[in-house]
Amino acid sequence: MEISKPLRIRHERTCGCPSNHINCLSAKEWLQHQIAVWEFYYEKRDIRDKKIHPAVFPIALPSKCINLFTHRGELVLDPFVGSGTTLLAAQDLDRNAVGFDLKKEYVDLSNNRLLETTKKTSNQIAICADALNIGDYFEEETVSLCITSPPYANLLNRKRKNKSIRGDLRDDEHYLQVQQYSDHPADLGTMNIKEYSLAIQDIFKGILPLLKPRGRCVINITDYWWKGKRIPAHIHVTNALQNAGYELRNTIIWDRRNIVNKAGIFGWPSNYITLSTTYEYILDFWRPG
Ligand SMILES: C[S@@+](CC[C@H](N)C(=O)[O-])C[C@H]1O[C@@H](n2cnc3c(N)ncnc32)[C@H](O)[C@@H]1O
């Protein structure tokens, strides 16, 4: 697809659903989604090699959000697209989608992964740009869903200690490696939590007018430890999004117990540590109607 500003990409429904339905799901399928603790499994197409990309969510995560919050033919946005997971989910589900990433290597990876299927009923593309400039690429009120996992501030910007891995297994190929995305000054992964919160606020302020009224913005984030202090990143992101004009609709827990490595006896008997690798947040906002 040619990259013009704004992009020429479709955003209208191609399904025959009644206009007041918020998705294409049947009542029975809808019911299965009414639980606020979500669990996902990685599939073969998912990238699990941290040397290719250090922080990938499973295709099943954006798929669920796309099924819940859009109709076939509508437009999905991922401002921090990484390895292109959201774009693959959109391709599977006949939604048009655009993803952005600062790092060209990830953009190429995303666009190449999209070529693995011959399915051509909708369009998806990854573009190399700072998420701050996304407003240049879309007409207002055309995006139905923004779904993303931004960097977790500077969480990766230090030597990996593998604390969630037991004993001897801890000393694996990732041990003591720094797995940051880039050292580009606009990379949210280089920022401390204060700078990060302001950058998130600015980026999502720019995205708000692109969303249709009541269009959803779903953000996957986790809290983390930094120099012995707990950083409640999900609260910082919630405040930033509210300051940018979004309304919080739901807080969902991603239960990751099925995918984390076997837990050790963290801190026993002298220290209690929150087992942050066993869950993450999925924050569900919308542009008020
Ligand atoms: C957590 S990863 C996203 C992973 C993605 N969900 C996946 O499954 O592959 C966050 C991404 O944000 C990108 N990034 C960081 N700062 C950015 C910015 N200002 N604009 C666009 N992308 C940025 C990083 O290069 C990284 O690939």
**Mind listing the pLDDT tens digit for each residue in 225-241?**
888 888 999 999 999 99
What single string gives the DSSP state of each residue in 202-219? HHHHHHGGGEEEEEEEEE
Gap from CA of 238 to ligand 1 centroid (Å): 19
For residue 126, what are the β-bridge partners? 99
Q: Which ligand 1 atom is at minimum distance from the Cα of 85?
A: 8
**Mind listing the pLDDT tens digit for each residue in 34-74?**
899 999 999 999 999 989 999 999 999 999 999 999 999 99
Tell whether the torsion through CA atoms of 83, 286, 188 and 279 is positive or negative.
negative
Report the nearest-CA residue for atom 15 of ligand 1: 187
Contact 172, 212 (CB under 8 A): no
Element (H, E) at 99: strand 96-101
Phi, psi of 239, deg, nearest 5: -60, -40
For residue 230, what are the β-bridge partners? 225
Other C-beta atoms within 10 Å of 160: how many?
16
List all residues 6 or more positions away from 176 whose beta carbon is below 8 Å from its beta carbon. Answer: 159, 160, 161
Report the greatest alpha carbon distance in the chain: 60
pLDDT class for 117, splitting at 50, 70, 90? confident
Q: What is the pLDDT of residue 277?
A: 75
Contact 198, 243 (CB under 8 A): no
Q: Is the minimum distance from the CB of 82 to ligand 1 under 6 angstroms?
A: yes
Report the nearest-CA residue for atom 26 of ligand 1: 82
Q: Is the minimum distance from the CB of 56 to ligand 1 under 6 angstroms?
A: yes
Report the nearest-CA residue for atom 7 of ligand 1: 56
Q: What residue ranges define each of the domains in the chain, with the CATH number in brackets?
A: 27-286 (3.40.50.150)
Q: Which ligand 1 atom is at minimum distance from the Cα of 83?
A: 9
Q: Is the minimum distance from the CB of 277 to ligand 1 under 6 angstroms?
A: no
CA–CA separation, 142 and 145 (whole Å): 9
What average pLDDT does the structure give for the chain? 91
Q: Is the minimum distance from the CB of 215 to ligand 1 under 6 angstroms?
A: no
Q: Which ligand 1 atom is at minimum distance from the Cα of 82?
A: 27
pLDDT at 206 over 80: yes
First to last CA, the chain: 32
DSSP-based three-state secondary structure for 280: strand
